[in-house]
């Protein structure tokens, strides 16, 4: 068994990793249409449209040159800019999720005696692609 450590699975935005990412969660949902009639003994379901999102937590730091930082991500959100996102370890044979998304929301938390944190939620726009890293 080859378990994967979370530290190795990173989200990229426009080809750059998010600076000081702490966590990223991928959520995928399919809406189902239900049919029930006097001729069925239960509900029949049929898959409909799907949606996905990726909430991300990070520590606040600036490095917009090699990695995406709070300034850049906040600007993309405010300007309602669609971005290409991937979530992967980058290791050959491992899974890679990818698609286009908008930043649906972002938060910054500045608590006394703690590091500043920020969170972003990427809302998928269109299909989520699942492949293996070449």
Decide if 54 contacts 29 (C-beta within 8 A).
Answer: no
Can you say how many angstroms the Cα of residue 134 is from the centroid of all Cα atoms in its chain?
Answer: 21
At 73, list the tokens. Answer: 């991500």
Run of H or E residues at 7: none
Q: What is the mean pLDDT of each run of 10 residues along the chain (134 residues)?
A: 82 91 95 88 90 94 77 94 96 95 95 93 97 94
In the chain the domains, ranked by start, together with CATH numbers, are 6-132 (2.40.30.200)
Pairing, β 21-24 against β 95-109: unpaired
Q: Give the pTM.
A: 0.88
Residue 67 near residue 16 (C-beta atoms within 8 A) = yes
Q: Where are the alpha helices (DSSP H) in the chain?
A: 70-78
């Amino acid at each position: 068994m080859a378990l994967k450590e979370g530290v190795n699975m990173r989200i990229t935005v426009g080809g750059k990793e998010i600076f000081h990412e702490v966590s990223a969660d991928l959520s995928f949902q399919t809406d189902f249409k239900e049919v029930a009639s006097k001729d069925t003994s239960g509900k029949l379901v049929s898959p409909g449209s799907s949606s996905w999102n990726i909430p991300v937590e990070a520590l606040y730091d600036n490095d917009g040159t090699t990695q995406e930082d709070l300034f850049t991500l906040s600007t993309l959100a405010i300007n309602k800019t669609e971005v290409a996102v991937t979530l992967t370890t980058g290791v050959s044979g491992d899974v890679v999720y990818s698609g286009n998304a908008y930043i649906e929301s972002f938060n910054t938390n500045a608590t006394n005696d703690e590091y500043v944190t920020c969170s972003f939620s990427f809302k998928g726009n269109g299909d989520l692609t699942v492949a293996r890293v070449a």
